[in-house]
Amino acid sequence: MYRIAENNNQWICGIGLLIGLLLPFFLGGCATGGAGTGGSVAYGNPFYKHVRELPENRSQEQESGLNENAPDRQMSARQLETQGDRLLRQGHLAGAYSQYEAALAKAPDNLSVQVKMARVLNLGGYPDDALKLLRQVVERSPESADAREVMGISHYLKGEYGHALANLDMALAMDAGRWQAFNHKGLIHDIRKEHLLARQAFGKAILLRPGQGFLYNNLGVSYALAGKHLQAVEAFQKAIRLKYAPAKVFNNLGASLAAMERYEEAFEAFKHGVGETRALNNLGCMYMLAGKHEAAIKSFEKAIALSPRFFTVAYQNLKKAEIATQ
């Protein structure tokens, strides 16, 4: 699981407002408001899925024998770096970091490895440590587009959006083909409510990586945040056609469909993502957000009837809907 960009986390009827953050979906109680969407939406993650977090004490992990990907000290620096790349693609953060660390010990002047280590630290939720490495790289190689891009992402994770944009722009000035830089610019512009700029950035990322479904999800979120739900639905559907279809994308789709009062389609989207009981709860929440309290009550009652185990959440939402009708 990633620990990326833990800002603006809200849970609205189990539809998470997540800025670049991949978390397991769960159902919560209904809240009010929804980032201008009439519900909330979730950004897709620009990196790998199911990533192991870096341990708090890497050396202790190695000494205890728990790290199945401990580096082979007989390998060359290049071999260790290649092994780190492979492990990172597979989502093994701790193993990748260990390989890169060993490669750097054999080739201390390898700036590329330092940048890769910083990427792993960002993915593991350690942007401050990543920045320490990256500043060393930039001091020795000011024209490193890789370092500037990853530095921009580090600042983004820290909520330092001005510094983030400055570094991402420097990276793009050196290399305009950096889709991750455009993606993060889009995320930042949406946070700043600069939705047109965000959509332009996501559009450029999509031109560079048209097969990445999560980019269409992010574009859809940007449309939804601006209240353009028809375009948002089209973008979410494109993400799904490209096989990027975690539950949160179907929830995004359902939220935008409900915002257009296409409730039957919204229910089907929710149902595809999280099953019938949770879909009924989500639909009830969307009815509540639209002020349709009688419809919300019926939806929550159906959720309770279908699954007694789901009683607590749906019952709490039902009580809120009943209070709202008084």
Q: What is the pLDDT of residues 252-275, one digit of tens each?
A: 999 999 999 999 999 999 999 989
The reply to whether 223 falls in a domain is: yes
The reply to whether 151 falls in a domain is: yes
The reply to whether 77 falls in a domain is: no
CATH of the domain at 319: 1.25.40.10
The reply to whether 312 falls in a domain is: yes
Alpha-carbon span 13 to 299, nearest angstrom: 13
User: Confidence class of residue 33 from pLDDT cuts 50, 70 and 90?
Assistant: very low
User: Is the pTM for the entire model greater than 0.75?
Assistant: yes
Strands (E), the chain: 10-12, 15-17
Helix, strand, coil percentages (3-state) for the chain, rounded to 5, are 65, 0, 35
Give residue 222's domain range: 10-53+125-325
- Express each pLDDT in 120-149 by its tens digit: 999 999 999 999 999 999 999 999 999 999
The contacts of residue 206 (CB under 8 Å, 6+ apart) are: 212, 215, 216, 219
Structure tokens at 90: 């597979």
Q: In this structure, which amino acid lies at residue 57?
A: N
The reply to whether 165 falls in a domain is: yes
The reply to whether 254 falls in a domain is: yes
Nearest C-alpha neighbor of 244 from the set 236, 253, 252: 236
Question: Domain count of the chain?
Answer: 1
Average pLDDT on 153-176 reads 98
The reply to whether 231 falls in a domain is: yes
The reply to whether 309 falls in a domain is: yes
User: Confidence class of residue 295 from pLDDT cuts 50, 70 and 90?
Assistant: very high
